Amino acid sequence: MTRGAGALQTDAIVDRKRMADRGAPQLEAGRVGRPHGLDGSFYVTAPRPRLLVIGTSVSVAGRTVAIVRRAGTDRRPIVRLGGVEDRASAEAMRGEALAVEQREAPSLAEGEWWAHELEGLEVVDGERLLGTVSRLIELPSCEALEVLRERGEPVLVPMVRDAIRRVEVSEGRIEVNLDFLALPEEPGAGPERRREGRS
């Protein structure tokens, strides 16, 4: 989840109706990391803390089980799953994804999105097209959109209010402030590139 003053909320929540309308897949809550202790508990890598709640059902390694223990911190959560009762069992799952059904996802404030909702959206400033979101990346101070451009290297757009004017998931676009971002021009590109296709 984003951190820092002025940051936009991203990796946490989108309202359930919008998720259902778009046919969202299962949400990855993280991956099984190294075991912690002898009781089957393990660290979760690349965690989404709000999905790692005691009682939540998660799919892992072809089965669905409930989270029965939650400890550690949001950055380094420790969980134990029902039926996983020793260190060897936890080690056997290491690297497996923990997936949560969308109906189990919490519903929170307006202005929050799941990462998969932002992937594939056009990034624009008015009629000027910057590129397409390929993924969300966690930086030390905030999260950032990795934007693929038609030419040149991908660029990072921080998810902060000075950079992001508006996120319109239903319209397939994110409006940004290119003056604030002060990005270098793509090789061979003119001063402006116009959007094509979507209106």
Residue 23 has pLDDT above 70, yes or no: no
What count of other Cβ atoms lies within 10 Å of the Cβ of residue 81?
A: 25
Distance CA 64, CA 99 (A): 9
Distance CA 166, CA 157 (A): 13
| CATH number of the structural domain 1-24+107-199 | 2.30.30.240
pLDDT of 184 strictly over 50: yes
74 burial level (CB within 10 Å; 0-12, 13-18, 19+): exposed
pLDDT for residue 193: 52
Residue 191 DSSP code:
S
Task: Determine the 3-state secondary structure of 133 from DSSP.
Answer: strand
> Within 10 Å of residue 18's Cβ, how many Cβ atoms?
14
- Percent of the chain clearing pLDDT 90 (strictly above): 54
At residue 99, the pLDDT reads 93
Instruction: Give the model confidence (pLDDT) of 90-120 as tens digits.
Output: 999 999 999 998 777 776 567 777 777 889 9
**Sign of the dihedral defined by the CA atoms of residues 15, 16, 20, 23, in that order:** positive
Give the torsion sign (CA, 96, 100, 105, 110): positive
Tell me the domain boundaries of the chain. Answer: 1-24+107-199, 27-100
User: What is the per-residue pLDDT for 194?
Assistant: 53
- At residue 38, the pLDDT reads 97
In the predicted model, is pLDDT for residue 13 greater than 80? no
CA atoms within a 13 Å half-sphere pointing along the CA-CB vector of 80: 17
Max intra-chain CA distance, the chain: 61
Window from 30-34, 100-104, 172-176, 183-187 with minimum mean pLDDT = 183-187
Mean pLDDT of all residues in 9-37: 63
**Tokens for 12?**
């946490």
CB–CB of 125/176 below 8 Å?
yes
Rounded CA-CA distance 8/142 in Å is: 9
Residue with tokens 């319109």: 168
Whole-structure pTM over 0.85, yes or no?
Answer: no
CATH number of the 27-100 domain: 2.40.30.60
Q: Is 155 helix (H, G, I), strand (E, B) or coil?
A: strand
Better pLDDT: 157 or 106: 157
- The whole-number average pLDDT for the span 138-166 is 88
